[in-house]
Structure 1
């Protein structure tokens, strides 16, 4: 595969919009919450569902205060219980004591997202352990498409449709062969701007639920990865308590030039999402109240995901009363404060910019937001660099870079230098960038930072830079 072919692969507008969401929340809540199960069996009594303090507006407000930019709600998990008053089954909130059967949790969360400026996404499990038609083929596909249609037409704009590949038996002991292409047609028609995630063509799963990331997460990868999570034999089929922390060490490199040099197939833009829970489980369990991940661990995941060309989908499971536990909220708040620090542009806003070359004139203000013109070096520039300087010494511990991914993923290696004692010294070396790379290092005192791009597939394109 020639390097010229690699940079022809670019993201769709929906993939760019999804990637810009960066850090967002997963909310697992439903009948499982009431039974203290991870996977319900689909026969749990509906009168168990009556969360008296449930307030979707409060959930979204709390996530926004923690710097999240979107929310994905488990509208139906494997047990088949629907959090909206669907016309497709009686196994829904419509037939519970909650709000005397008049509640619609999907509507609550969707309206709160639109109110607070967060993006809203839906999770709809294809596996349904309650529905009698599951495993019968077209009859179940008809029901699933009807549920998709309700969710994608009644709740405003959807940014992500999250498809779990879990595939086990239904109440009749049969397994369904999912008609993915039919599902995709409905999604594209009803929500053309929504990214279809995990078991879909827009966003791929990172390969585990532990928050583990690859050293290099490339977005230009072989098309064969499109189908990996859709294969039933590879899906999660039991609730053994180990899957959420299972790591896969194989295929650590999916898209480097070395891996792709002999590849003769089709390449696609297929970026990675990292999903993990703030607790061991995805649904709330009171025995896990003291097992909430600490801010250091979650911040490390943030740096490796949002700062490593992925996105970070963090699960927050509300309890039986409908409240996110105070322990979860405390850590979430701490993480949000650290994210504010990462995004702080006070230091760079008072700097000067110098570049080795440029296809078009660029100013520092152009590089403070990723929706403005981007810098691209001249094609003949063999050692392109961006330099940021100040009149006085500054204390620096972090550099953030974003490529203009609409021009593909180009940078393969770079070095961050800083001036000390009238010479340039190495602060940190990096490999690929992609949508965003966040590099942290021991704090230094300097008046000048130079980022030199040493290996690239085509002239580097940087749309945003931050130093703090």
Structure 2
């Protein structure tokens, strides 16, 4: 086993903030892309569309939130303004908003309706505010646009109650001959910290790291302790979507597969941060609703697989569900979300009651592998083991092996490197009366807070 001394112990000393701990425990929450693009059939609107086009007569934020909650989500992030610049709230600094539309006779506020609905149904509320604005004349001017953006950010952070996430993407500029704004990220972060100190700043921010694709793909091992350079917002922006290209939503790159193993951290030991990952993707091919995609809603099997790999891979899962132009989430999406919620609840309900024994480790035998043994009252067909570290003390496990016992023989069921907040290890259903979890490498003494075996579905 790797020694706990020296570098390993230093790596284990990198710890999450309180806001990061709260965010990680949310595990699964929703994205809602809705706005002028919904009305025009675009993904990246060019701005300047007639506000009269925005009139979602049936808009029902409670229906949106009920659909998300049925899937087991704990929060919702709303695209309050996308790249086209149309604001879903009556902003004081632009007329390009719902206040200039016929919806609710110009007195509506989508942000308020979604924030209120989220509170009514017990979900937390977050905001997306695109830093790129294709309508605002000051875009590309430097400080003048930063002032404009900060004014809008302040409106969102002071008018709608507690915010759990401020989601900042890296979209920037209008092409080779277009305007380009150099965003004052540190200024934006300071505004968030002052107005909403409990909110995480995600993606182009210091608290939550983008997984690197929009397809729902996850790394084999996801680490929360990584080099500080990964927090560089401009680096993230350069790797984000650069054009209105639908193929990007399903693009998966093979680079950066290992961000935080001990080998990957060599040379960075003195400049590390806690920067956990979020996996984001859409329930449909596009981020905004398009009627032509009504038959292309992802299946419950595909979504549950993404859930197991993201929430079960030391990440959080952000799933986009776009309402249609009538202001409602469509029936196909609602149905799949309900199925997903039932699948997740069923998986959790199949946890097997077991007697857990720490059979080695520093309090028993410092020279032996730290091991937790789960003993069942009878043999079960098991299909997964769920592990979780006490991440308030850092991320420590570097390799774990799960073995099952039956008829006097031990069989290796699964193994992995990272665990973190939660690792769901799945395998073909196997009969076992005992499960043994062995930590073969770690950074300082491993601290498992969760060890559950899951019975196979009948």
TM-score tier, shorter chain, comes to over 0.9
Match in the other structure for 1:363? none
Give the Cα–Cα distance (whole angstroms) in 2 for the partners of residues 382 and 358 of structure 1.
Answer: 6
Give a deviation string over 1:301-335, Cα, whole Å, max 9, x none. Answer: 11111000111101001100011111112222222
Q: Which segment is superposed worse, 296-305 or 119-128?
A: 296-305
Match in the other structure for 1:460? 446
2:401 corresponds to 1:415:
yes
Match in the other structure for 2:36? 31
Match in the other structure for 2:251? 246
2:128 corresponds to 1:123:
yes
2:20 corresponds to 1:15:
yes
Give a deviation string over 1:57-95, Cα, whole Å, max 9, x none. Answer: 111111111101110000000010111111111111111
Give a deviation string over 1:384-416, Cα, whole Å, max 9, x none. Answer: 111111222222211111111111111111111
TM-score between both structures, scaled by the size of structure 1: 0.92
Structure 1 gap segments, 5+ residues each: 360-376
Q: Residue 88 of structure 1: SS of its match in structure 2?
A: coil
Count how many residue pairs are aligned between Structure 1 and Structure 2. Answer: 448
Match in the other structure for 1:354? 357
Following superposition, the deviation at residue 156 of structure 1 comes to: 0.9
Match in the other structure for 1:62? 67
Q: Note if contact 1:412-1:432 (Cα within 8 Å) is conserved in structure 2.
A: yes
Q: Note if contact 1:59-1:324 (Cα within 8 Å) is conserved in structure 2.
A: yes
Q: Note if contact 1:23-1:313 (Cα within 8 Å) is conserved in structure 2.
A: yes
Bigger relative CO (Cα 8 Å, ≥ 6 apart): 2
Q: Note if contact 1:34-1:49 (Cα within 8 Å) is conserved in structure 2.
A: yes
Q: Note if contact 1:167-1:235 (Cα within 8 Å) is conserved in structure 2.
A: no
Q: Note if contact 2:8-2:442 (Cα within 8 Å) is conserved in structure 1.
A: no
Match in the other structure for 2:436? 450
Match in the other structure for 1:188? 193
Match in the other structure for 2:7? 2
Give the Cα–Cα distance (whole angstroms) in 2 for the partners of residues 211 and 36 of structure 1.
Answer: 23
Give the Cα–Cα distance (whole angstroms) in 2 for the partners of residues 190 and 381 of structure 1.
Answer: 50
Following superposition, the deviation at residue 382 of structure 1 comes to: 3.0
Q: Within 5 Å, which residues of 2 pair with 1:320-331?
A: 320-331=325-336
Q: Note if contact 1:2-1:261 (Cα within 8 Å) is conserved in structure 2.
A: no
Give the Cα–Cα distance (whole angstroms) in 2 for the partners of residues 422 and 219 of structure 1.
Answer: 38
Match in the other structure for 2:417? 431
2:100 corresponds to 1:114:
no
Q: Note if contact 1:198-1:204 (Cα within 8 Å) is conserved in structure 2.
A: yes
* Aligned structure 1 segments of 4 or more residues deviating by more than 6 angstroms: none
Q: Residue 149 of structure 1: SS of its match in structure 2?
A: helix
Q: Note if contact 2:361-2:370 (Cα within 8 Å) is conserved in structure 1.
A: no
Match in the other structure for 1:364? none
Following superposition, the deviation at residue 295 of structure 1 comes to: 1.7
Match in the other structure for 2:56? 51
Q: Residue 58 of structure 1: SS of its match in structure 2?
A: helix
Match in the other structure for 2:3? none
Match in the other structure for 2:103? 98
Give the Cα–Cα distance (whole angstroms) in 2 for the partners of residues 379 and 98 of structure 1.
Answer: 69
Q: Within 5 Å, which residues of 2 pair with 1:69-468?
A: 69-169=74-174, 173-227=178-232, 229=234, 233-263=238-268, 265-344=270-349, 347-348=352-353, 351-357=354-360, 380=366, 382-468=368-454
Q: Residue 107 of structure 1: SS of its match in structure 2?
A: helix
Following superposition, the deviation at residue 461 of structure 1 comes to: 0.8
Give the Cα–Cα distance (whole angstroms) in 2 for the partners of residues 382 and 432 of structure 1.
Answer: 20
Q: Note if contact 1:223-1:265 (Cα within 8 Å) is conserved in structure 2.
A: no
Following superposition, the deviation at residue 115 of structure 1 comes to: 1.6
Give the Cα–Cα distance (whole angstroms) in 2 for the partners of residues 418 and 378 of structure 1.
Answer: 22
Q: Residue 246 of structure 2: SS of its match in structure 1?
A: coil
Q: Residue 260 of structure 1: SS of its match in structure 2?
A: coil
Q: Note if contact 2:204-2:236 (Cα within 8 Å) is conserved in structure 1.
A: no
Give the Cα–Cα distance (whole angstroms) in 2 for the partners of residues 78 and 109 of structure 1.
Answer: 20
Structure 2 gap segments, 5+ residues each: 1-5
Q: Which segment is superposed worse, 148-157 or 456-465?
A: 456-465
Give the Cα–Cα distance (whole angstroms) in 2 for the partners of residues 192 and 295 of structure 1.
Answer: 36
Following superposition, the deviation at residue 357 of structure 1 comes to: 4.5
